[in-house]
Amino acid sequence: MNFYSIIAAEDPSLSHHWLFPEIGEIIYGGLASLIIFGALYKFGWPAAKKGLEARTAKIQKELDDAAAALKQATSDAANIRTALGDVASERARILAEADAQAAAVLTEGRARIAAEVADMEARATAEIEAARARSGDELRAEIARLSAAATTDAVRAALDERTQQELIDGFIAKVGAGR
C-alpha cells in the first residue's frame, strides 16, 4: 500500500531548490543536450539545408516558368492582335468590294429601269397615237355605215310599187335587148 509512496518518497533531507536543478543533473543534462545537438547539427543540418535549397530552387523555377509563360502570352497576344488587324482589314476589304459591287448593280439597275421606262413611254405614246388614228377611222366607218343604212332605208321607202315595176320592166328590156 505504500509501495508507491516508498518509491516516490525521497530522502527528505535531499530536497532541492524548487527552480534550479541539482549540479549533477545540470552536467548530465547539459552534456546529453550537447551530444544530441551536435549529432543533429552534423547529420541533420545538411539535409535540412538541402531541403531548404531545393524548395528555394523549386520556387524560383516556378517563378521563372511563370515569367516565361507571361512572356509567351504577351507575344501571343501581340500575334493575335496583328492577326486581328489583318482580319479586320480583310473584312474591311471584302465589305468595300461588296459595296462597290452593290453600287455598280444599283447604277446598272437604275439605268436599265430608266431605259425600260423610256421604252414603255415611247410605246404608250405610239399606242395612244394609233388608238387615236383608229378611233378616227372607226368613227368614219361608223358614220359611213350609219349613213349607208339611212340611205338604204330612204331608198327602200322611196321605191314604191310603180318604181319597182319600172325597175323590173327595165331589167327585162335590157336583158332582152342583148345588153
Partner 1 sequence: MSSQQITAYVTAMFEIAVANDVLATVEDEMFRLARAYETNEALRGSLGDTSLPIERRQKIVEQLLGGKAHNVTVQLASMLVGTGHVSLLPQVADALVKRASSEKQLEVAEVRTAVALSDAQKTRLVDALAKATGKRVNLKVVVDPSVIGGVVATVGDDVIDDSVRTRLDQVKARL
Residue 159 cell numbers, joined: 321605191
- Going by the DSSP 8-state scheme, the letter that residue 22 receives in this structure is P
Q: Closest approach of Cβ 152 to partner 1, in Å?
A: 6
Decide whether 12 or 176 has the Cβ nearer to partner 1: 176
| Cα separation, 82 vs 86, whole angstroms | 6
Residue 137 cell numbers, joined: 377611222
Q: Closest approach of Cβ 138 to partner 1, in Å?
A: 15
Q: Closest approach of Cβ 157 to partner 1, in Å?
A: 10
Decide whether 60 or 165 has the Cβ nearer to partner 1: 165
Decide whether 116 or 153 has the Cβ nearer to partner 1: 153
| Cα separation, 87 vs 91, whole angstroms | 6
Decide whether 101 or 165 has the Cβ nearer to partner 1: 165
Q: How many residues in total does the chain contain?
A: 179
| Cα separation, 49 vs 64, whole angstroms | 22
Which residues of the shown chain bind partner 1 in the complex (CB under 8 A)?
144, 147-148, 151-152, 155-156, 159, 161, 163-165, 167-169, 171-176, 178-179
